[in-house]
Structure 1
Amino acid sequence: MKTIPSLPKPFKGIVPPMITPLLDDDTLDVEGLERLINHIIDGGVHGLFILGTTGESTSLSYKIRHELVERTCEIVDGRVPVLVGITDTAATESLRLANTAAEAGAAAVVAAPPYYFSLGQPELIEYYEYLVERLPLPLFLYNMPSHTKIVIEPDTVKTLSKHEKIVGLKDSSANNAYFNKVLYKMKDRSDFSLFVGPEEIMAETVLLGAHGGVNGGANMFPELYVKLYEAAENGHVETVKALHDQVLEISTRLYALGKFGSSYLKGIKCALSVLGICSDYMASPLHHFRKEEREKIAENLEDIKVKIQELGLKAQD
């Protein structure tokens, strides 16, 4: 087993939820994966999260999931901590993937509630306790109620935080009231990491005490999100406003094209393909943008790159 890098407590910063570059449903775009990882790390991020929602984890075969973990850790080579999503309906599969992550050199794992049976909060606590007693790595809770039908309630977060190996929460609910309640409940636990997924609210949550963002746009423009996080952490409100406007520009012009439930993910993958970083193939049942939509993404992307460069930040050529 490789040496596992330790995470600081609290772990902080921008941890992009990496897309999974694919050539077809069961083949990784390995060259694109290497370009993508190097592009993201060169932007100054603080970690990398694979096999989350943005990584299409539930659409990938187990073979691809395990291969992605191994190849990602090999390419990253200890430059930043790697967090691995192990969410599954079967705890045995979550544990198998966690073991692969530990052997490959990942720093932690991330697990949302199982997404078929709707667990009550006592059952949810029992589930996470079952996992954590068997996991070889620290665990981040992952609140994603739109996909799992279950909210990890603030009191449940507080209860589970008492386990030494449960080290943080990633909240992708986009519910500010929920996240503020978690911040309040956890105000005496400065060592417990609290991250938000939706980039549209990352800056304001960091200003209020959150530890960072797991933001999809950092696949494309990592430096922008790092600078926004740093400005928010340091309380530089005017800089936050300028950079936050650009994040909303990305959200509006790249994530909302067409009438698809997956427009956000299609937009990121298409933009990365237009930028020449990796393939935009999406695993079934999803599919990438067609010609008309791709042309619109390319047009919007050119405008966004110009505005990012005007802010003095790097945009991919």
Structure 2
Amino acid sequence: MKIQKKYKGTVVPLVTPLTARYELDEQAVERIVLNLYKNDAMPFILGTTGESASLPATLKHAFVKATAALKQPGAEFYVGISSNCFEESVELAKSSLDAGAAAVAATLPTYYHLSEDQMKDYFVRLADAVAGPVIIYNIPATTHMSIPLELIDELSHHEFIVGTKDSERNDGRLDRSLELWSGREDFSHFLGWAAKSAYALLNGGDGLIPSTGNVAPEIYCEMTKAVIAGDTEKAYHYQHLSDTLGNVYQSGRTLGESLRALKVLMQENGLCDAHMMPPLSALHERDEQNLVKSYHQLLQQESSFFKQPSNV
């Protein structure tokens, strides 16, 4: 029997919906968050997908406040607190937890390359200062550092470190992570590598953090139901849908370009506008046209699952 943990489930790393004046679009926040809750998913704001490194502190705090106001009974939300400034991370963490966040997540600071001892010292100091639930977020694509699993396992026994989100694309690392923590009641493993979602859940993973959930959280809702029912074939069917939709906006694009493409698809679904915070910007017009065309072709091919969107 799978252990029931406090921190689990589908936690979608939200885009940050912006107005043309680079302010938080609070009406879009409501549409996006309520769409997640409707599909048994939870929001994770101010992460990589949310352009957090480019956002001013005032907008971050406004996003936390807006998300907290939408929290429903039994639902949770998570907040990214990553910053090169330790004090800013601690301040955002405390205000987020005070607002009702289930936990906060932090990557390594990204300006200096850190030794393993420095990584350990950073997370211990952060967890001590926050004095609330902290998730260690490993994402070498942006930090250019990989946090060793042995170090995460050592840190996992800290009273305030409750889990890890791992976006490193490494099969051996994933298998070792599941081996280390699937049986731990007090420590959760969230996977941020969408292509391995079904595999992770079927092999003891506690949760997923898929950016594609911004557009179609229902994929992961149904995938989870299939895993719980022991229907491996159906779980991998939803994995295929996740892969196909992910490829529409990610394939052949840099991370920054894929985030703009993701917002374009969300705009097609009437969830938010596609404005990006500098330095990220729009794709070429032809690229966006081809993106939207490919998206609608996918919806037609998979019409038994996806509903055709209507702009608002």
SS of equivalent to 2:12: coil
- CA distance in 1 between partners of 2:21 and 2:178 (Å): 39
* Counterpart among 99, 119, 123 of residue 94 in structure 2: 99
* Counterpart among 30, 38, 42 of residue 42 in structure 1: 38
SS of equivalent to 2:278: coil
Structure 1: runs of 5+ lacking an equivalent: 1-7
Alignment partner, residue 215 of structure 1: 210
Deviation at 1:293, TM superposition (A): 2.3
SS of equivalent to 2:248: helix
* Counterpart among 46, 52, 59 of residue 51 in structure 1: 46
**2:119 matches 1:118:** no
What do residues 156-202 of structure 1 show as CA deviations (whole Å, max 9, x unaligned)? Answer: 11111111211111001121211222222335424311011121111
Deviation at 1:72, TM superposition (A): 1.1
Change (3 A) 1:308 1:137: farther
Change (3 A) 1:288 1:241: same
Fraction of identical pairs, as percent: 29
SS of equivalent to 2:136: strand
- CA distance in 2 between partners of 1:109 and 1:301 (Å): 33
Superposed counterparts of 1:69-108, under 5 Å: 69-78=64-73, 80-108=75-103
List structure 1 segments (4+ residues) > 6 angstroms apart after TM superposition: none
* Counterpart among 295, 298, 306 of residue 304 in structure 1: 298
TM normalised by structure 2 equals 0.92
Change (3 A) 1:283 1:299: same
Alignment partner, residue 29 of structure 2: 33
- CA distance in 1 between partners of 2:16 and 2:264 (Å): 12
* Counterpart among 254, 262, 272 of residue 249 in structure 2: 254
Change (3 A) 1:232 1:188: closer
**2:279 matches 1:285:** yes
Contact 1:256–1:263 under 8 Å retained in 2? no
Contact 1:9–1:191 under 8 Å retained in 2? yes
Contact 2:192–2:208 under 8 Å retained in 1? yes
* Counterpart among 249, 258, 264 of residue 264 in structure 1: 258
Alignment partner, residue 14 of structure 1: 10
Alignment partner, residue 3 of structure 1: none
Contact 2:182–2:188 under 8 Å retained in 1? no
- CA distance in 2 between partners of 1:315 and 1:157 (Å): 43
- CA distance in 2 between partners of 1:261 and 1:44 (Å): 27
- CA distance in 1 between partners of 2:43 and 2:222 (Å): 17
**2:148 matches 1:153:** yes
SS of equivalent to 1:110: strand
- CA distance in 1 between partners of 2:254 and 2:146 (Å): 24
Structure 2: runs of 5+ lacking an equivalent: none
- CA distance in 2 between partners of 1:137 and 1:306 (Å): 46
Deviation at 1:33, TM superposition (A): 1.4
Superposed counterparts of 1:133-282, under 5 Å: 133-256=128-251, 259-282=253-276
Q: Which amino acid aligns with 1:38?
A: L
Deviation at 1:25, TM superposition (A): 6.0
Q: Which amino acid aligns with 2:9?
A: G
- CA distance in 2 between partners of 1:295 and 1:303 (Å): 12
- CA distance in 2 between partners of 1:177 and 1:75 (Å): 38
Deviation at 1:77, TM superposition (A): 4.3
Deviation at 1:210, TM superposition (A): 0.9
Alignment partner, residue 5 of structure 1: none
Change (3 A) 1:165 1:151: same
Change (3 A) 1:68 1:196: same
More displaced stretch, 143-152 vs 225-234 = 225-234
Q: Which amino acid aligns with 1:92?
A: E
